């Protein structure tokens, strides 16, 4: 299936209609807003096919989006819902919901990725996690490495995109 055709159902809390949304259009809009290069688009297309890839892509977009005024984070819930669904197939991460702090934490073999989901308050995050642990202790990944991890999904060597002092 082409990434442009991927949809996901984002479960909602009682009283709200469940949403089925196209994922790529929201990701593509976010990538355009942050001014991503084509190599990042390629990495995003590859990443969206695995749970770890969706998690890293979501984290990268959130980190870059925080630098932009009035950024649309509408990609977050669909990407994280897809990530959770894919964990059931590829076992790429454990998903924890910290309801006390309003965070969803994804633990891969190598990293922890935390997402503040208070603004996505209609989403039923409990149904998109493996367990609920209040006041969960975590060490979030540093934003400096998120792009490297994302580009690894497109098998792009660091030297291909990292600037040197000569540039």
Q: What DSSP assignment string belongs to 67-129?
A: TSTT---TTHHHHHHHHHHHHHHH---EEEEETTTTEEEEE-SS-EEEEE-TT-TTB-GGGGS
Please, which pLDDT band fits residue 158 given cuts at 50, 70 and 90?
low
Please, which pLDDT band fits residue 151 given cuts at 50, 70 and 90?
confident
Average pLDDT on 85-111 reads 92
Going by C-beta distance under 8 Å and a sequence separation of 6 or more, which residues neighbour residue 157? Answer: none
Tens of pLDDT, residue by residue over 22-78, are: 999 999 999 999 999 999 999 999 999 999 999 999 999 999 999 999 999 999 999
CB 59 within 8 A of CB 106: no
Whether the predicted pLDDT of 163 surpasses 60 = no
Q: Is 142 exposed, middle or buried (0-12, 13-18, 19+ CB in 10 A)?
A: exposed
Give this prediction's pTM. Answer: 0.89
Whether the predicted pLDDT of 125 surpasses 90 = yes
CA-wise closest residue to 146 among 70, 11, 36, 13:
36
Q: Where in the chain are the domains?
A: 3-160
Average pLDDT, the chain: 89
* Angle value at C-alpha 108, between 27 and 86, nearest 5 degrees: 55
């Amino acid at each position: 299936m082409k990434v442009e055709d991927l949809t996901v159902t984002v479960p909602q809390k009682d009283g709200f209609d469940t949403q089925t949304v196209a994922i790529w259009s929201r990701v593509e809009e976010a990538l355009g807003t942050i001014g991503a290069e084509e190599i990042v688009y390629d990495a995003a297309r590859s990443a969206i096919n695995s749970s770890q890839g969706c998690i890293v892509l979501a984290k990268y977009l959130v980190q870059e989006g925080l630098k932009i005024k009035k950024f649309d984070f509408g990609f977050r819930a669909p990407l994280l819902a897809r990530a959770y669904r894919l964990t059931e197939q590829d076992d790429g991460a454990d998903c924890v919901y910290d309801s006390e702090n309003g965070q969803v934490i994804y633990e891969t073999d190598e990293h922890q990725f935390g997402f503040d989901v208070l603004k996505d308050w209609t989403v039923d995050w409990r149904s998109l996690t493996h367990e609920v642990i209040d006041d969960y202790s975590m060490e979030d990944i540093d934003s400096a490495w998120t792009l490297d991890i994302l580009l690894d999904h497109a098998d792009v060597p660091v030297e291909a995109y990292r600037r040197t002092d000569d540039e």
